[in-house]
């Protein structure tokens, strides 16, 4: 097989894996294509988080922070073990964010620094590329104390989160706006074209209804920044920041596949450097860096003299004019220790502050089946799959609600959507087990089993219509899904401002029955700040965040 064929294979592989990744995200949604009516439980037809389970960084970090390798994360060995022999093939052939960076870097630029000699120079190994190792060891340090921070910058969760909570919802808004403004023109064909474009997008990319996520602008900004940096340095993110790339770089220490440079044939044209993705010094005369190479094979394909060849057990003589390649990672022990210490220190700061334990926000209501908060923060990689799959748009990425430590972890905003009583989808798609997989019985309970509770509802009597305004309203009771209902009504007499007695039914919450699903808060007609709301107290996952002795025992 000649090198052009192999390179085309690599290009095909990038496109295929990118499309699979995108397709899996698109399928992380509840579609009504199942028919049986009496089914006990709604399940997704595809293993939509399989791409995230292939992630060795998520596997390692959850293993360190959580102590076990959850379910499908064993698949990550399918990436990690070949990397030990081959090097960072994942970055050049598989990683969907890497491919996106690759393609955006490849768009022709009119700027001088993206051309000729300056581009060539920018593709030589640079010291900034060490940053990714510092990021990796920082995350490792945090994981040692049980806090999983790698998910913020791990490319697979990052891309899933960015596409799922930022890009697709923004596209949805754009498509709706386009259809609406086309319809507003009042010109038949224009309106039809606008609607046609919307229908096409809706059929291919968009979920059943527009999703709105909390504070998502920062997720979008990070994503756009990563993409735009490619216009300054080729694959800047992959070279300089990506902690997964760093991990794979470390694991390529004993790779048997490497670059063999034939000094005799080389005429120093430097075409290899112009095409290099990883900035790993493919040119004769520089020391090739195994840990930086993405195995894109561009250098070998670009070489007109055939002096560069990727080979198993490459012959790499070490001479002054043609130094051998190095498998070593360019970081000193001192810097590794400092990064680890930084990660440890950050967690110590997070956890000595008040947000983690003594002053936890009552409004951080975690998805049903979530682990206790400490274990949860040791497992959640912030991929946003739970948020995307939630049929009610109830789960959202936190900003600072659960402290900086919990940035972009999921929480429930009942005002936007409540936890659908019979739904267990978020636990089904969670790749790391931060949200445990519940059976329907575990979720709703039966005679023997207590239902899973995520919080408890409280009334704001100063805003509730029958309590504060002598006006009838029973909507919270109507929506309460437990049987018997946790919200009950009492016939009471209110007095209006004229002194007239008005018979009203006033709602009360029975905390022994309430599961905290938030349907009452969602449905409450006091729209802007609800007169009934849920907080996390009473959540099944916590032994301490409880009110009732009786309910805790049950």
Partner 1 sequence: MDRRDFLKKTGPAVALAAVTGGTGLAFHNRETALHRSLFVKTADFEVPPDPWLPVLTLATNTDPVAALNAALDAIGGIGRFVHTGERVVLKPNVGWDRTPAQGANTHPALVSEMVRLCLAAGAARVIVADVSCNDPRRSFLRSGIKEAGETAGASVMLPAPEDFVDVDLGGSVLTRWPVLKHFVQADRLINMPIVKQHSLTRCTIGMKNLYGILGGRRNRLHQEIDQSIVDLAAFVRPTLTVVDATRVMFRGGPQGGSLDNLSIENTVMCSTDLVAADARAVEFLGLSGRQVGHIALAARSGLGSLDYRAAGYKETV
User: Which residues make up the interface to partner 1 (CB under 8 A)?
Assistant: 30-32, 34-39, 42, 176, 179, 208-210, 391-392, 420-423, 465, 471-475, 477-485, 489, 505, 523-525, 527
The nearer residue to partner 1, 303 or 475, going by C-beta atoms, is 475
- Asked if 374 and 422 count as a contact pair (C-beta separation under 8 A), the reply is no
CB of residue 210 to partner 1, shortest distance in Å: 6
Count the neighbouring beta carbons within 10 Å of the beta carbon of residue 469: 17
CB of residue 332 to partner 1, shortest distance in Å: 55
The nearer residue to partner 1, 100 or 206, going by C-beta atoms, is 206
- Asked if 538 and 551 count as a contact pair (C-beta separation under 8 A), the reply is yes
Closest CA to 150 of 166, 134, 165: 134
The nearer residue to partner 1, 36 or 127, going by C-beta atoms, is 36
CA 432 – CA 78 distance, rounded (Å): 17
CB of residue 174 to partner 1, shortest distance in Å: 14
CB of residue 435 to partner 1, shortest distance in Å: 19
Tell me the CA distances in angstroms from 140 to 99, 163, 383, 398, one per residue in order.
Answer: 26, 26, 18, 23
DSSP code at position 90: I
Which residue has 């309203």 as its token pair?
A: 473
Helix H segments across 430-510? 440-444, 465-468, 475-479
The nearer residue to partner 1, 336 or 523, going by C-beta atoms, is 523
- Asked if 531 and 463 count as a contact pair (C-beta separation under 8 A), the reply is yes
Which residue has 């060539």 as its token pair?
A: 120
- Asked if 139 and 242 count as a contact pair (C-beta separation under 8 A), the reply is no
3-class secondary structure, 410: strand
CB of residue 42 to partner 1, shortest distance in Å: 7
Closest CA to 80 of 237, 247, 238: 247
CB of residue 410 to partner 1, shortest distance in Å: 18
The nearer residue to partner 1, 302 or 465, going by C-beta atoms, is 465
Residues 6+ apart with CB under 8 A from 298: 7, 272, 275, 276, 277
The nearer residue to partner 1, 31 or 121, going by C-beta atoms, is 31
Structure token pair of residue 502: 């008005």
The nearer residue to partner 1, 354 or 491, going by C-beta atoms, is 491
CA 425 – CA 46 distance, rounded (Å): 12
The H-or-E segment that residue 175 falls in is helix 168-184
CB of residue 401 to partner 1, shortest distance in Å: 24
The nearer residue to partner 1, 265 or 513, going by C-beta atoms, is 513
CB of residue 500 to partner 1, shortest distance in Å: 16
The nearer residue to partner 1, 332 or 449, going by C-beta atoms, is 449
CB of residue 18 to partner 1, shortest distance in Å: 28
């Amino acid at each position: 097989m000649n090198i052009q064929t192999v390179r085309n294979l690599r290009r095909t592989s990038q496109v295929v894996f990118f499309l699979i990744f995108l397709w899996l995200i698109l399928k992380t949604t509840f579609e009504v294509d199942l028919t049986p009516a009496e089914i006990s439980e709604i399940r997704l037809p595809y293993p939509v988080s399989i791409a995230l389970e292939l992630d060795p960084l998520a596997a390692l970090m959850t293993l360190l922070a959580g102590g076990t390798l959850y379910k499908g994360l064993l698949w990550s060995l399918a990436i990690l073990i070949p990397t030990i022999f081959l090097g960072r093939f994942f970055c050049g052939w598989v990683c969907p964010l890497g491919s996106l960076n690759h393609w955006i870097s490849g768009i022709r630029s009119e700027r001088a620094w993206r051309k000729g000699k300056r581009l060539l120079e920018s593709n030589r190994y640079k010291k900034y590329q060490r940053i990714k190792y510092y990021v990796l060891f920082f995350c490792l340090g945090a994981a040692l104390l049980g806090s999983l921070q790698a998910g913020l910058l791990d490319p697979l969760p990052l891309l899933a989160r960015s596409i799922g909570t930022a890009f697709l919802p923004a596209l949805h808004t754009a498509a709706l706006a386009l259809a609406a403004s086309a319809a507003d023109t009042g010109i038949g064909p224009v309106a039809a074209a606008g609607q046609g474009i919307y229908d096409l997008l809706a059929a291919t990319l968009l979920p059943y209804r527009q999703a709105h996520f909390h504070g998502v602008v920062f997720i979008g900004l990070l994503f756009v920044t990563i993409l735009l940096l490619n216009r300054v340095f080729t694959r800047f993110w992959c070279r300089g920041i990506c902690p997964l790339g760093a991990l794979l770089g470390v694991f390529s220490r004993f790779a048997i596949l490497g670059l063999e440079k034939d000094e005799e044939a080389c005429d120093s044209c430097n075409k290899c450097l112009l095409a290099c993705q990883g900035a790993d010094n493919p040119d004769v005369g520089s020391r090739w860096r195994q840990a930086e190479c993405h195995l894109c094979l561009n250098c070998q394909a670009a070489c007109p003299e055939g002096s560069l060849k990727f080979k198993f057990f490459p012959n790499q003589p070490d001479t002054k004019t043609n130094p051998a390649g190095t498998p070593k990672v360019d970081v000193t022990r001192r810097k590794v220790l400092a990064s680890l210490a930084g990660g440890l220190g950050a967690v110590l700061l997070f956890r000595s502050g008040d947000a983690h334990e003594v002053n936890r926000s009552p409004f951080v209501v975690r998805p049903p089946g979530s682990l206790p908060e400490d274990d949860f923060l040791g497992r959640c990689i912030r991929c946003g799959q739970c948020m995307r799959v939630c049929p009610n748009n109830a789960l959202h990425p936190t900003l600072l609600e659960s402290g900086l430590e919990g940035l972009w972890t999921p929480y429930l905003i009942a005002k936007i959507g409540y936890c659908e009583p019979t739904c267990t989808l978020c636990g089904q798609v969670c790749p790391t087990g931060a949200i445990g997989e519940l059976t329907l019985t575990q979720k709703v309970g039966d005679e023997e089993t207590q239902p899973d509770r995520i919080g408890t509802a409280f009334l704001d009597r100063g805003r509730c219509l029958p309590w504060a305004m002598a006006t009838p309203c029973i909507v919270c009771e109507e929506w309460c899904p437990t049987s018997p209902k946790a919200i009950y009504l009492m016939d009471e007499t209110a007095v209006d401002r004229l002194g007239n007695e008005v018979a009203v039914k006033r709602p009360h919450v029975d905390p022994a029955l309430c599961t905290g699903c938030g349907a009452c808060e969602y449905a409450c007609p006091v729209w802007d700040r609800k007169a009934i709301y849920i907080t996390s107290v009473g959540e099944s996952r916590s032994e301490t965040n409880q009110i009732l002795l009786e309910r805790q025992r049950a």
